[in-house]
Amino acid sequence: PLTLGIETLGGIATPLIERNTTIPTSASQVFSTAADNQTSVEIHVVQGERKMAIDNKSLGRFVLDGIAPSPRGMPQIEVTFDIDANGILNVSAKDKGTGKEQKIVIQGGTGLNKDEVEKMVQEAEAKKEEDKKKEEMITTRNMADNLCYAAEKSLRDGGDKIPAEIKTEVEEKVKSVRDVLQTATKEELDTKTQELSLAMQKIGEHLYKDQGVPPMDGSAGNDQGNSGDNKGEDKDKRDEPVEGEVVGDNE
């Protein structure tokens, strides 16, 4: 009767099966890691309508380990929820790279009676605006942290090709974001993130300015490879980890 999902980076409850979905049913979504060389993830299964996992009912936890050490965001962890006609919930997490898989079976439904379900629904509605602001703040922090990570990677990849003044500016902007990541308001963090983004653009401008490549107008390639109904496009998108929704480790 209530939404089922997992806890993702920052404590957000990411839904997989929405409230009032007819059973039997199943749903899958691909997530990734939150840190470099992370070899395990904890899957925390929750039920409820609140935006934050802590405000919902915890149904169970399990750990998928044996993930090959990789840069964060690279491993693909497919999480699948399957509810049978008796209301028994099976949750699995599979590392698509190694094939390793872990599962949990949650018996007897969710253990909530009708009054408890109604109370949770009413509470979620009453806290809707408050929860939305919390979710937006955490999403902003996650995006800012991801941009800092991307900026540092760009500096490493560019190496000596990047002028010292550009490198220094980007490093200073990264520091200014990281220094206030947990304390700034959403608006303040948005501003600092935008400043970092503009500084990062200078890396690309410098690396490509002498290449002499004319700008594309978006039409290139339309005659080849893009004809038809793009049947492969949806599959490719399903296989990509969901942006900004990374599973944390089990620390």
pLDDT greater than 60 at residue 176: yes
Identify the DSSP state of 110.
Answer: T
Shared domain for 29 and 115, answered yes or no, is yes
DSSP conformational letter for 53: G
Total of domains in the chain: 2
Nearest-angstrom CA–CA distance, 187 and 182: 13
- 128-161: per-residue pLDDT in tens? 999 999 999 999 999 999 999 999 999 999 999 9
Q: Is the peptide bond before 24 cis (omega within 30 degrees of 0)?
A: yes
In a domain, 242, yes or no: no
Give residue 211's pLDDT. Answer: 66
Share of the chain above pLDDT 90, in %: 75
Q: What is the mean pLDDT of residues 180-187?
A: 96
Specify if 251 maps to a domain.
no
Same domain, 199 and 96: no
Mean pLDDT score, 180-209: 94
- Predicted pLDDT at 217: 57
Q: How confident is the model at residue 249 (pLDDT cuts 50, 70, 90)?
A: low
Output the domain CATH number for residue 159: 1.20.1270.10
| Global pTM exceeds 0.75 | yes
Among residues of the chain, what percentage have pLDDT more than 70?
A: 82
pLDDT at 207: 83
C-alpha to C-alpha distances, 59 to 24, 47, 54, 84, 156, nearest whole angstrom: 18, 7, 12, 16, 42
Across 111-134, average pLDDT: 93
Is position 215 within any domain? no
54 is a domain residue: yes
Q: Tens digit of pLDDT for each residue in 162-174?
A: 999 999 999 999 9
* Same domain flag for 78 and 179: no
> What is the average pLDDT value for the chain, to the nearest integer?
87
pLDDT computed for residue 212 by the predictor: 59
Structural domain span for residue 160: 131-209
Selected residue with higher pLDDT from 12 and 110: 12
- Does residue 26 share a domain with residue 71? yes
* DSSP track, 150-218: HHHHHHHHHGGGS-HHHHHHHHHHHHHHHHTTTTS-HHHHHHHHHHHHHHHHHHHHHHHTTS-PPPP-S
Position 215 confidence tier, pLDDT thresholds 50, 70, 90: low
Q: Single out the residue in 67, 92, 126 at which a domain terminates.
A: 126
**pLDDT, position 225:** 45
Whether residue 164 sits in one domain with residue 95: no
Position 223 in a domain? no
Q: Both 10 and 120 in a single domain? A: yes
Task: Return the pLDDT at 180.
Answer: 97
